[in-house]
Amino acid sequence: MAFDFEKFQRFGPAAFVLKAILAAVAADVILLGCILLRRGYRRWYFARRDARVIEIRQQWDALIRGEIPFEAWRNNRRDCQIVESMALDAFELAGSAESAQILKFLRTSGLIAKCTFEARRHQGWRRREALVALGRTRAPEAIPPLTEALRDRDAETRLAALRGLERMACPEAAKGILNWISESGLTVPALPVQSALIQCCAERPQILISHLQHTEGPVRELLARVLGEVATPVLQTSLLQFVDDELPELRAAAARALSQSQPQIAMASLTELSQDPIWFVRLRAIVSLGELRNPSAVSILLRGLTDSKRLVRVRAAEALLKIGSDHAAMFEEVVALNDRYGLDAFLTAIDNAGLVGTIQQELSQRPPSARKDALLEILTAKSLPTAGLMPELAASAKAASAL
């Protein structure tokens, strides 16, 4: 061992350590130099940039009106970047008249054409940056380069293109996305596609229906979820065909979308869906029943309070509060269910809505009776009596369960 250590000291490591020290010191100096250079450069760069931004801002109106020749700034890379970012920021904040003027400027100055060129020519982050800028313009001519980028090999670029199309929020962009997913399936995570389609299909949700009929698997599930978000009363007859669909996502979407329909059309389907074996379909149906605010839904919602899933019970309780104005009577019906989970969900809902005091007051105003006292006690104790319900309430409970 002693020999090894000697050898180690004299030959290999000692020389190596010396070199390593020199290398480390050199690295320290280089790193320090980088920090100082970077600081200095940034200071110089931003001072010049800020000064230029102020100059451009002073001439902004003339620039937008096209009174300053585009060549004055377009051939200078820094100026062009400044004008582009200022125009896009202004476009996002502008009202309709001003935005039309800025869009015209973006077109005539060639900024959209420049972004389109960059989106087609570049790769990687430069392409993504151009795609984001194109999305921000919301100009229809930006849709083709954005849809082309959906077929890029890089997943991040595809996501940038999707976000760009999402910004467009128009049926043409939706068509581009729908064609792409029909062609190549889901090559990006579902959520960004869903988000983009929700924005783009909001105006014309009908375009989803034909795709729903011709796709299958995860794409169909995704389109179903989109449909659930964007459905309008216009679609109500188309939606009814999905109430019996084998895909639970589609049934849930139909349930959700039916909240936008006429109660007389939606009630029968929602009643059926509220008893679906899949819990999230029941949940959607219960929430939709609450949205419809139809008094005939009370009995279905009371049944929802006894559901095996906590979330369904909680939503059923919230839906009941949306429908009924006589909260004390509603409370009485909930107690009559004799279901402590259902009661717990309802009490939570009234607590969250700040209605405990109101119910207490409404009950107190009733003529004195054992029933009234029992209800007040349950409301205060926030649980059913351990000895069981009093006979009168128990009778109501039986009636409720028979219902």
Q: Which residues bind other proteins (CB under 8 A)?
A: 1-2, 4-5, 8-9, 13-14, 17-18, 20-21, 24-25, 27-28, 31-32, 34-35, 38-39, 42, 124-125, 128-129, 131-132, 156, 159-160, 163, 166-167, 189-192, 194-195, 198, 229, 310, 314, 344, 347-348, 351-352, 382
Cα(177)–Cα(150) distance, integer angstroms: 8
By C-beta, is 189 or 391 nearer to other proteins?
189
By C-beta, is 84 or 166 nearer to other proteins?
166
Number of residues that this document lists for the chain: 403
Q: Cβ 190 to other proteins, closest distance in Å? A: 8
By C-beta, is 12 or 233 nearer to other proteins?
12
By C-beta, is 352 or 369 nearer to other proteins?
352
By C-beta, is 25 or 113 nearer to other proteins?
25
Cα(343)–Cα(336) distance, integer angstroms: 9
CA 162 to chain centre: 14
Q: Are 72 and 62 in contact (CB under 8 A)?
A: no
Q: Cβ 221 to other proteins, closest distance in Å? A: 13
Q: Cβ 305 to other proteins, closest distance in Å? A: 14
Query: Which phi and psi (to 5°) does residue 275 adopt?
Result: -115, 15
Cα(248)–Cα(84) distance, integer angstroms: 46
Q: Are 371 and 320 in contact (CB under 8 A)?
A: no
By C-beta, is 271 or 360 nearer to other proteins?
360
Task: Tell me which residue has tokens 């451009």.
Answer: 56
* Three-state secondary-structure class, residue 294: coil
Burial of 350 (0-12, 13-18, 19+ CB in 10 A): buried
By C-beta, is 21 or 370 nearer to other proteins?
21
Q: Cβ 98 to other proteins, closest distance in Å? A: 19
CA dihedral 106, 108, 112, 118 (to 10 degrees): -130
Q: Which helix (H) or strand (E) holds 22?
A: helix 12-58
Q: Cβ 179 to other proteins, closest distance in Å? A: 22
Q: Cβ 23 to other proteins, closest distance in Å? A: 8
DSSP 126: H
Q: Cβ 257 to other proteins, closest distance in Å? A: 14
